Structure 1
Amino acid sequence: MRFPTRHLVVALAGAATLLPAASVSVPPAEAWSEAADPTATGVLDLRPTISQPSKRPATSSGKTQALATFANTRTGQTVTLQRDSGSGWQTVGRGRQHRSGSTIFTLPDTTSLYRAAALSRSGAVVEVTDAVRGRAFTTVFKDEFSGRRIDFSKWSDQPTLAPAYMRMCSRLSPRARTVSDGVLQMGVAPDPARAGTACTWSLNGRSGSHPYMLNTQLATRDKFDFTYGYAAARMKMHLDKGMHASFWLQPANWYTPGDPSRGTEIDVVEFFGRTKKDSHIAAFLHWYDADNLHHKIGSKFPYANRLKKRAETWSSSYHVFSVEWTADAYVFRVDGREFWRQTEIVSQAPEYLLLSMLTSDYELEKLTPSTMGQRAKVDWVRVWSH
């Protein structure tokens, strides 16, 4: 997702609900005796609704979620969300620990005191988290892609940057994307203006020819930017190689060579398609040194595959890809569970959002007529202040 002199880049959704499994109904309140409670060894972390996996589109939520982790709890063990009633702890949500080592709940309200408790097979409390007061998160940007058109008060189709380094055989066009049934469908397509003309490309010692292509790229530049918070996109990825879908952030005031604190490219998620050996999501950070030389860190993250159901693929279900951005770190998550944390190259400057589906020259060897019609789907995009 790179241009030579300009870039584009960010990244989310409960009576208590356990995710990523299907919603869990709230059981009748149960009171616990505080006398026998163990010492708190777990952590209850509050965040916006950045976990909402399912096969179908869904409306984003303004509710608060909580992720419970414990020192000794096993996969599948019963975990409850408990609310302080003033006379004891009452169960307001119930689920089972995910194989990644955590359980996600949605808070019934944002003013009560909460904790999570892990139960033994007999139903006794064996571990608890520290108690945390609920809180709300303020939404500063939201698009559900309702209707049949892009909301141009929020987004703009990006112009093609010239020279289009790494994308000599493509240009950006609104003809490569559609909006319908509450979903943005990002695609690529042959360029009709250059039909019948082959593009010759050369990159990193490789070369070839390919029909000219149209690509998708939308951005909130000059319409919305933010500094610090949670940025999330609920997406269902395309299937095959030859193109890559992205949700990313870019500095509103461009880059300052040698000073990444004044702006970095934040690739919240990229997906380059499946292979027989892997089907992994990726995340990256890009910046320039004092000599204006480009640097990047990040990679594909096989561990992230553990954060979805075993039977799912990134192309079969919607998942929420998010970044939590503070003055000290970026935390990259899928469905509310962390897969990468970076503390060294942290922007302190305003950044805007981008969504794209691109055919870089290095991918064209894998792009065939039978795969050109594939789409990456974006259900919603949302940003919360920290």
Structure 2
Amino acid sequence: MIRSTISLCVGVFGLLATPLAAEEPSARTLVWADEFNMPELDRDKWGVIGTDFWVNNEQQAYVDAPAVLSIVEGLSGADGGALLLRPVFKPGVDPHPDRKADFLSGRIESRDKFDFTYGRAEARIRMPDVKGVWPAFWLLGNGRWPDTGEIDIMEYVGEKDWIGVALHGPGYSGETPLVNKFFFPEGEDVTGWHVYAVEWKTDELLFQVDGRTIYRVTRPMVEHYGKWRFDNPKYLILNFAMGGAYPFKTNGIEKPYNGVPQETVDKVKTGEIAMLVDWVRVYAPEE
């Protein structure tokens, strides 16, 4: 990964600086963090997913390349460097025999490097105004899905006024009621910097945006559908998917790609569509 300037994204993301966080849990014990201030991605903290991975009929192949995954600097509103994840349009490159995706993109995760049970995970993120994309910040258990649980702290599918949160596990993956949409207040949307977080406790999870609790899931709510799978370690994931099940379910677009309209393809070709992550932090549970 190479460190680069962010001039290519200034036109899309603007120059307006915003507060670094709505809530600074300074009294908490910080157990893990990446501020993305190194010249390259810290491979001691993150692994990078490759082309073999494919789920949800997503329309991209993940690769380990600076074109889709880099550390950038000079971005207004960011505290130092930032992680940039973005899709690129590269037909004919994907080696997967069945998928043959025309898009390449980036996904990093802390599996086998860092995981945790209970506490607060948060990331400061800025996203693009474009339909049919699927950037996300989430936690996943180390075993077979969905048996070891999934915590979706933030999912965005291209409608800039809201993000989604969810829990998945045995008996409650997919379309169970353990999901929620957060609609931003007037004058805000996903293109601004926001802190997305989960407070993970022994019997409940609180999903937050900029320090405001937007959804609470309790053990009894989960056990109405299946076994509670949130007492085991989980690792961090940041990714930028294109199209697939969730965007398609939201917009109903079939062509030119599942969940992805032509206008988004055209914007991807400009190189300015990206998910930017200022930092990721994990705190110990409150005492």
Assess if the C-alpha contact under 8 Å between 1:286 and 1:295 holds in 2: no
Residue 207 of structure 2 corresponds to 332
Q: CA deviation at 1:185?
A: 1.1
How high is the sequence identity, in percent, across the aligned residues?
A: 28
Residue 353 of structure 1 corresponds to 236
Q: Does 1:252 align with 2:142?
A: yes
Question: How far apart in 2 are the matches of 1:293 and 1:338?
Answer: 22
RMSD of equivalent CA atoms: 3.1
Structure 2 alignment gaps of length 5 or more: 1-14, 74-80, 223-227, 245-257
Question: How far apart in 2 are the matches of 1:293 and 1:376?
Answer: 26
Paired letter, 2:83: L
Question: How far apart in 1 are the matches of 2:146 and 2:166?
Answer: 18
Question: How far apart in 2 are the matches of 1:146 and 1:243?
Answer: 26
Paired letter, 1:365: P
More strand by share: 1
Assess if the C-alpha contact under 8 Å between 1:245 and 1:356 holds in 2: yes
Out of 283, 288, 299, the residue aligned to residue 180 of structure 2 is 299
The 3 A distance-change label for structure 1 pair 326 and 160 is farther
Q: Does 1:222 align with 2:112?
A: yes
Please give the residue correspondences for 1:1-386 in structure 2 after superposition, counting only pairs within 5 Å: 55-56=16-17, 64=25, 136-162=27-53, 164-167=55-58, 169-175=59-65, 176-181=68-73, 182-191=81-90, 193-194=92-93, 212-255=102-145, 257=147, 263-274=148-159, 279-289=161-171, 296=176, 297-302=178-183, 305-306=184-185, 310-315=186-191, 317-343=192-218, 344-345=221-222, 346=228, 347-361=230-244, 362-365=258-261, 367-372=264-269, 373=271, 374-386=273-285
Question: How far apart in 1 are the matches of 2:265 and 2:146?
Answer: 39
The 3 A distance-change label for structure 1 pair 55 and 333 is farther
Give the secondary structure class of the aligned counterpart of 1:369: helix
Question: How far apart in 2 are the matches of 1:328 and 1:138?
Answer: 21
Paired letter, 2:37: S
The 3 A distance-change label for structure 1 pair 59 and 336 is closer
Paired letter, 1:281: I
The 3 A distance-change label for structure 1 pair 299 and 363 is farther
Question: How far apart in 2 are the matches of 1:211 and 1:264?
Answer: 28
**Which structure has the larger Rg?**
1
Paired letter, 1:363: G
The 3 A distance-change label for structure 1 pair 269 and 55 is farther
The 3 A distance-change label for structure 1 pair 227 and 322 is same
Paired letter, 2:197: S
Assess if the C-alpha contact under 8 Å between 1:323 and 1:331 holds in 2: yes
Give the secondary structure class of the aligned counterpart of 2:130: coil
Paired letter, 1:141: W
Question: How far apart in 2 are the matches of 1:174 and 1:146?
Answer: 19
Greater relative contact order (CA < 8 Å, ≥ 6 in sequence): 2
> CA offsets, 1:328-353, max 9 Å, x none?
11100011001111113351110000
The 3 A distance-change label for structure 1 pair 350 and 193 is same
Question: How far apart in 1 are the matches of 2:151 and 2:62?
Answer: 20
> CA offsets, 1:291-334, max 9 Å, x none?
x97664313222xx13xxx323220x211000000011110001
Question: How far apart in 2 are the matches of 1:190 and 1:179?
Answer: 20
Question: How far apart in 1 are the matches of 2:48 and 2:205?
Answer: 27
TM-score normalised by length of structure 2: 0.72
The 3 A distance-change label for structure 1 pair 294 and 236 is closer
